[in-house]
Structure 1
Amino acid sequence: MNDNIKRIDPRRPFIITADGLKRITLGEIGNGTLLDIASMHGGHKEAAKPRRLTKPATRAMLVAAHTDRGALNDHGRQALAAATLLADAETEVVLIAFGEFKDDAAALGADRYIELPQFDRCNFAPDEEVRALTACVAAFTPVHVFMPDNATGDGDLGRRYAARADASIATHVVEIDKQHVALYAQANRAIASRALPDVVLLAPNAVDAKLPFVGIGESVKAEGIVPAAKLSAYVDLGIEEMDAAQVALEEADFIVSAGNGVSDVPAFEALASTLGAAIGASRVAVDDGKFTRDKQIGATGKTVEASVYIAFGISGAVQHLQGIKDCRHVIAVNLDASAPIAKRANLTIVADTQETIKALADAAAAARAAKANGSSVVQTAALAEGVAA
């Protein structure tokens, strides 16, 4: 045996791969080193994307969308992509972000953006939002306004604005180019089309959000553009809290899911209750009788679109990965760092499932207690990183 052969510790503390995936080992602190996988295998890094706007802007296109926890969702990114793909080299794309905005505006294709943190998608202030959008349109005089057509505020805002401004509008748009838009008609048995209107409300997945270029990403202050808020004629009674266990998995925004690696089901269910998350399970866990069939996620179960999906002890068979393909952030807890689900996960915690459940439950309980005492609450994903590290 040759003892001079160098061996790489598979549990090394590096936490960020070249694909942007994090690897965390319980009890060790990662050094944040970026693993250059491409160079290790003789490959090449992805070339930097060119800037789309190459000439001084002479006109503008405007995109308006509500953010969710500081970021645009996939539908909002698609609306932004539609504007950038239709814009020429002299047309800037301006994003109006209703809510807190922490995304990389340039990477999303925006040349300039205005953040309006006073407008949260959870609060109902239609008149003030229309006034803000009207002021932004007056300031940038866009050729067209693009918005996602959804039921969480953007679709309503777009219709209200078009009615107030007497602007032409097309809703539920499924096809678009520089000359026309198209949408389904006659119970989806026909296609109706018209010339590109003033306001375009896009249906989901009408445009691919991946772009071959980047924008400038310049921040523009809202002061001097958006008027001060007035007393609203509406009284917002807030959102009625609902027990996560009563929410259908297809509609749940936060899901914790158990696989064969979960041995203490009561502890897992207690964690879900503490986090306020819906409960899902893999086919193996359901077949073993740990969970009812209506909790099964995968090709033979339910397809989910949660913003956060935490998989405890799930290896990630292809059928299960099909069921979570539309989830935004996937966190995997597994002893096997090479499990298939690690390739799908945005964050992988290499640790014992039951130990992680207990540690996360303790941290979440402490965070809730801190919130009750007026302290800031640590987000669940950050808790997972802190517990693992």
Structure 2
Amino acid sequence: MNTIKRIDPRRPYTITAAGLRRITLGAVAEAGAMTGGDAPRAVHGGAAKPRRTTLTATRTILVAAHSDRGSLDEHARQTIAAAALIADAHTQVALLVFGEMKDDAAALGADRLIELPAFDRRVFAPESELQTLSACVAQIAPAHILLPDNATGDGDLGRRYAAYAGASVATHVVEIDPARVSVYIHARKSFATRALPDLILLAPGAVDTRLPFTGAGERIELPGTAADHAHGSTYVDLGIEEIDAAQVALEEADFIVSAGNGVTDVGAFERLAGAFGAAIGASRVAVDNGMFTRDKQIGATGKTVEASVYIAFGISGAVQHLQGIKDCRHVIAVNLDGSAPIVKRANLTIIADTQATISSLIDEVARARSPDSRAVAPAVTTAVEGVAA
């Protein structure tokens, strides 16, 4: 049975200046960023941002969020920005990350970073996370705690903590300033404002992440914040269930191989998709030629996809097709024509015969997964991840 990986709804992304969503898996610090001390950090265009404050902190605002493979999504970034914008010169912004953190915390506006790589956001461990958040609050005594108000972990953790600690809380906050928060009530027919509570769950889009300053970005460690999923847990995590690839819509697929008119051996192409565990897509030309069913068509007149990895075999890249893959994170093109429009969109282009490339990839995947290639497999995996980063 072929299995396929679904799109993770909690994967991080950013919004580009053109208004397009770009997934930020394994994101790294901004190019040209400086590190260390009070030095200003470089930003786009070569300008430098000053530190928000260099005064001694007497007060703390804590932001807590889950990361995905080392990166925070746009909603979490907005929450950090909100904390930085309401902090005064004697207030530090502490960021507690459940998971690995590869993003530049200073560029996001955080002064202190507490990274908890032992937590895996794919593991359901609400009690352990609540205990860790409580331990962190007990040690740094923040004036306010901010979390993204989402349905994928952070919002649940915030509500659990409010109930556990008896803290005052505001949810779905759409406006925030140093004195108050605002929310919609009565089915969005009314607007309510109140003083800053202990716990603030921020709605998406409430704050612009483009800050005019940076934070200190200092990494610190707190005792008693290690993950302990087994201790006292009343939940049993059954893990992630794999399903038949045919049951997953292209819009939900995280890895897609797509065929165009340059694919002549559909059987070999389907075997490659099975070897990769990827969903199958196609260009309009390939569908019109009867090679694939209409539900596989990707483009303006077909389906718009948001895969982390999209490999286009023998697709020239008409504007309609490019529109359908505009939100894909990594686009790899295999084509004989180095001037094809899809080459300009692709992050990596292989100028080679499509069928020969498909055949070689099938052989390489089989070789990497064979028992005799265990010593080679890690190197192959690293190479593939390097291409996708």
Tell me the TM-score normalised to structure 1 length. Answer: 0.74
Alpha-carbon displacement from aligned partner over 1:51-106 (angstroms, at most 9, x marks no partner): 33333333222222222122223333333233233334433222211122223323
**Quick one: distance in 1 between partners of 2:308 and 2:297?**
18
Change (3 A) 1:101 1:354: farther
- Other structure's SS at 2:49 match: coil
**Quick one: distance in 1 between partners of 2:51 and 2:380?**
34
**Quick one: distance in 2 between partners of 1:357 and 1:218?**
47
Alpha-carbon displacement from aligned partner over 1:120-155 (angstroms, at most 9, x marks no partner): 111111111001011112222223322223333222
Equivalence for 2:70? 70
Change (3 A) 1:382 1:189: farther
- Other structure's SS at 1:147 match: strand
**Quick one: distance in 2 between partners of 1:270 and 1:305?**
23
Equivalence for 1:171? 171
Quote the offset at 1:206 in angstroms. 3.6
Instruction: Show structure 2 runs of 5+ residues with no match.
Output: 1-30, 32-43
Quote the offset at 1:172 in angstroms. 3.2
Match runs of 1:1-389 below 5 Å = 45-188=45-188, 190-222=190-222, 224-226=223-225, 229=228, 230-336=231-337, 339-345=340-346, 347-352=347-352, 353-369=354-370, 377=378, 382-383=383-384
Instruction: Please tell me whether the aligned partners of residues 254 and 307 of structure 1 are also in contact (alpha carbons under 8 angstroms).
Output: yes
**Quick one: distance in 1 between partners of 2:140 and 2:372?**
41
Quote the offset at 1:260 in angstroms. 3.9
Comparing 124-133 with 156-165, which one deviates more in the overlay?
156-165
Comparing 96-105 with 224-233, which one deviates more in the overlay?
224-233
Instruction: Please tell me whether the aligned partners of residues 118 and 226 of structure 2 are also in contact (alpha carbons under 8 angstroms).
Output: no
User: Root-mean-square deviation (CA), in Å?
Assistant: 3.5
Instruction: Please tell me whether the aligned partners of residues 139 and 225 of structure 1 are also in contact (alpha carbons under 8 angstroms).
Output: no
Change (3 A) 1:369 1:301: same
Partner AA of 1:245 in structure 2:
A
Equivalence for 1:27? none
Change (3 A) 1:190 1:281: farther
Quote the offset at 1:168 in angstroms. 2.4
Name the % identity: 66
Tell me the TM-score normalised to structure 2 length. Answer: 0.74
Quote the offset at 1:165 in angstroms. 1.4
Instruction: Please tell me whether the aligned partners of residues 146 and 201 of structure 2 are also in contact (alpha carbons under 8 angstroms).
Output: yes
**Quick one: distance in 1 between partners of 2:371 and 2:52?**
46
**Quick one: distance in 1 between partners of 2:339 and 2:213?**
33
Q: How many residues align?
A: 343
Comparing 236-245 with 371-380, which one deviates more in the overlay?
371-380
Comparing 295-304 with 236-245, which one deviates more in the overlay?
295-304
Alpha-carbon displacement from aligned partner over 1:264-315 (angstroms, at most 9, x marks no partner): 3333332222222223333343333333332333333333333333344444
Equivalence for 1:38? none
Partner AA of 2:203 in structure 1:
A
Quote the offset at 1:354 in angstroms. 3.7
Change (3 A) 1:285 1:228: closer
Quote the offset at 1:115 in angstroms. 1.7
